[in-house]
Amino acid sequence: MQRRSFIHAAGAAAATLAAPQVFSQAWPNGPVRIVVGFPPGGGTDALARVVAQKLTPMWNQQVIVETKAGVAGVLAAEYVAQQPSDGTTLLMAHINSHALAPALQRKLSYRVDRDFVPIVLVGVTPNLLIAGPAQKEKTLKEVVALCKAQPGKVSFGSAGAGSAQHLALELFKLQARVDALHVPYKGSGPLLTDLMGGQIQYSFETMTAATPHVKSGRVVAIAQTRAKRAKGHPTVPTMQEEGYEGFEATTWYGLVGPGKLPAAIAQKVNQDVNTVLAMPDVQEKLDTYGAEDGGGTTDKFASFIQSEIAKWSRVVKDADVKVES
């Protein structure tokens, strides 16, 4: 009896292991697009390209990063939700489109739980409070003092109204008891250009997008927004270390597909992206960008998204944050 059970289990396991191999021969049978909701030069674009470059040889098909910027990532999400669920179009989902927008906008054209299939979390990063090179105030205490001296006039850029950078600013204003001028952009790329050019003064920018400019000295890192310091920026203090207890405002990225994406495709992409994330050269890039905690199952990512929606819904309510739909 035990022998028969063992043989049956072994056969089932072999069939399970064989299934992805058989399926991988059928898909992808053409180019795959990863749609990004922000202009080139931002964190979402950077991580999408890291993944796409590795998947192209693995799948023997071109994996293209396509930009559809606007409405803090919502435009790209709306687009992908309407695409065929055949695996040819995926979205590099973002905290903006999949946690903040549902909390902020009641008239979204999509529902996260209905119109998307979670595939894999790519990474969670802190934001960096950064200053332009010409800015004299380059410590957190100096920034707070400046905001108090010039209420509503000190400018902070974001990737758009309702973006992760915007919500980090709102949390900062609440905890520091200051007012500041929010300047929304259509993504991190143009924001950083203006910050380096002196058109705006500060930003709670994604670590992924800000890091190359911090390393080159074109912007100055003041603080980071996770409870612990990221490996890529060990000398930059956290907001919590600077006296803002419980201050945590992250940005996260993950692949999702349209709502009727077959489970077999989702599982294959999940498996292959997990392989990519474990590659030493990819790990090195992720550490530099401060992207941590990526990988895991599709269910893990689905649960994470729902917890983020709940968390930011509370923040939006408590801070009375409103954006135009």
Query: CA–CA separation, 117 vs 7, rounded Å?
Result: 35
Residues in the chain: 325
Say if pTM beats, i.e. exceeds, 0.85: no
Query: What pLDDT is attached to residue 119?
Result: 98
Label residue 82 by pLDDT band (50, 70, 90).
very high
Query: CA–CA separation, 101 vs 98, rounded Å?
Result: 6
Residue 238 carries which DSSP code?
B
Query: CA–CA separation, 159 vs 185, rounded Å?
Result: 5
**Mean of pLDDT values over 31-44:** 92
- CA-based nearest residue to 253, from 105, 83, 123: 123
Query: What pLDDT is attached to residue 79?
Result: 98
Helices of type H across the chain: 2-26, 43-59, 74-81, 95, 101-104, 112-115, 140-149, 164-176, 188-197, 207-216, 263-277, 280-289, 298-319
What tokens were used for 25?
A: 């021969």
Query: Alpha-carbon torsion 96, 102, 170, 254, what sign?
Result: negative
Residue 107 has pLDDT above 80, yes or no: yes
Query: What pLDDT is attached to residue 295?
Result: 98
Query: What pLDDT is attached to residue 70?
Result: 87
The mean of the pLDDT values for the chain is 90
- Per-residue pLDDT tens over the stretch 190-215: 999 999 999 999 999 988 889 999 99
- Per-residue pLDDT tens over the stretch 141-182: 999 999 999 999 999 999 888 888 999 999 999 899 999 999
Are 224 and 125 a contacting pair, CB within 8 Å? no
Query: What pLDDT is attached to residue 25?
Result: 53
Query: What pLDDT is attached to residue 325?
Result: 56
Residue 130 has pLDDT above 80, yes or no: yes
**Mean of pLDDT values over 64-69:** 96
Are 155 and 161 a contacting pair, CB within 8 Å? no
- Per-residue pLDDT tens over the stretch 233-268: 999 999 999 999 989 899 999 999 999 999 999 999
Between the two ends of the chain, the Cα-to-Cα distance in Å is 64
Question: Looking at 50-54, 88-92, 183-187, which range is the least confident one?
Answer: 183-187
Q: Mind listing the domains of the chain with CATH numbers?
A: 2-125+250-319 (3.40.190.150), 126-224 (3.40.190.10)
Query: CA–CA separation, 76 vs 45, rounded Å?
Result: 12
Query: CA–CA separation, 178 vs 141, rounded Å?
Result: 12
240 residue type, one letter: Q
Residue 99 carries which DSSP code?
I
Higher pLDDT, 290 or 278: 278
Residue 315 has pLDDT above 90, yes or no: no
Residue 117 has pLDDT above 80, yes or no: yes
Higher pLDDT, 14 or 57: 57
Cβ neighbours for 27, distance < 8 A, ≥ 6 positions apart: 87, 264, 265, 268
Question: Looking at 15-19, 92-96, 271-275, which range is the least confident one?
Answer: 15-19
Query: CA–CA separation, 186 vs 204, rounded Å?
Result: 15
Are 36 and 44 a contacting pair, CB within 8 Å? yes
Are 129 and 221 a contacting pair, CB within 8 Å? yes
